[in-house]
Structure 1
Amino acid sequence: MVVAYFLLPLDHLGPGRPVLSWVLFGLALAVVAALLLREIRNVLVERPDTRPGVLIPLLIVLSLHVFACAYYTLAKEPGEFEGLRTRVDALYFTVVTLATVGYGDITPRGQTARVLTVLQILYSFVFLTAAATALTQWVRRLLERRLERGPHE
């Protein structure tokens, strides 16, 4: 997934194609959110054929890459970001924002960059927290079932 992030043709997006850039971002984020919600629901209803231990972490990482792509593309617009020049910078800023660390070396200066950063924070609070909680609940149930069966089964 990280390799794909660095290979995506993001240089064709940005200030020259703002509508296409925002539509792709919105669609990608909506698809990831819908898939996360489906997996969360599968955990809550205890659907037996689900594999949230694989899919939820992948979707969380994918959502980080979607935001990193958006930041990288938006950073081409003058005045939006200070300190964000490369894809590594964008991925780093996404993770730092998710972790609520905020070192201050990359700063959203423009209104669009700030709105996108707030959107990531809200998305993280709602979707990623719910996904992590569902994953934790699934792991707990899995461990409880194994303990009930005994150590040799």
Structure 2
Amino acid sequence: MMIAYFTLPLRYFGEDRPVVSWLVFAAVLIGMTWFLMARMIDILVGTGHHPGVWIIFLICLVLTVFASTYYVLGAQPDEFVGLNTRLDSLYFTVVTMATVGYGDITPSGQAPRLVVMLQIAYNFVFLAAAAGALSRQVRSGLESRVRRRS
């Protein structure tokens, strides 16, 4: 997925096509939300297979989507301070996801600030819920093993 991020033709998005850019971002965010919710339901119901793999995949997907969005926004003047490359965008996304916030890259425009708020909300609500669902499934699996041995 990271190889795709570094090779995606992102020049088709940005200030030349703002409506298309925002529609694609919204559609991808909605799709990720639906996919994540479906996986969480599978985990909670007990029909999901390999939930740890799905969680890792979803984290990579979130990183790719937000890093791509930051890269496109960073190509516009005065939207970010310190964000110049795809690696900068990925770094900023990881730092935001980890809630570290070094301050070396900062969103200065309104659009990047909105996307950062969306990422923080997304991380807080959906990734925390996914981690909770995963831990619940692991705990129930351990409890069933203990019951079988008893």
Question: TM-score if structure 2 supplies the norm length?
Answer: 0.92
CA distance in 2 between counterparts of 1:60 and 1:133 reads 14
Matched, 1:76 2:75: yes
Letter in 1 for 2:22: W
> Percent sequence identity over matched residues?
53
Q: Deviations over 1:106-133 (max 9, x none)?
A: 0000111111111110111111110111
CA distance in 2 between counterparts of 1:5 and 1:71 reads 12
Aligned length: 149
Question: TM-score if structure 1 supplies the norm length?
Answer: 0.91
1:123-134 counterparts in 2 under 5 A?
A: 123-134=122-133
Mark the runs of 5 or more structure 2 residues left unpaired by the alignment. Answer: none
Q: Deviations over 1:61-88 (max 9, x none)?
A: 1012101110000111111100001111
Offset of 1:24 from its aligned partner?
1.2
CA distance in 2 between counterparts of 1:146 and 1:88 reads 44
Offset of 1:137 from its aligned partner?
1.4
Mark the runs of 5 or more structure 1 residues left unpaired by the alignment. Answer: none
Q: Corresponding residue for 2:12? A: 12
Letter in 1 for 2:33: A
Q: Secondary structure of 1:73's partner?
A: helix
Q: Corresponding residue for 1:97? A: 96
Offset of 1:46 from its aligned partner?
2.1
Q: Deviations over 1:11-64 (max 9, x none)?
A: 2211111111111111111111111101111122222x5332221220121012
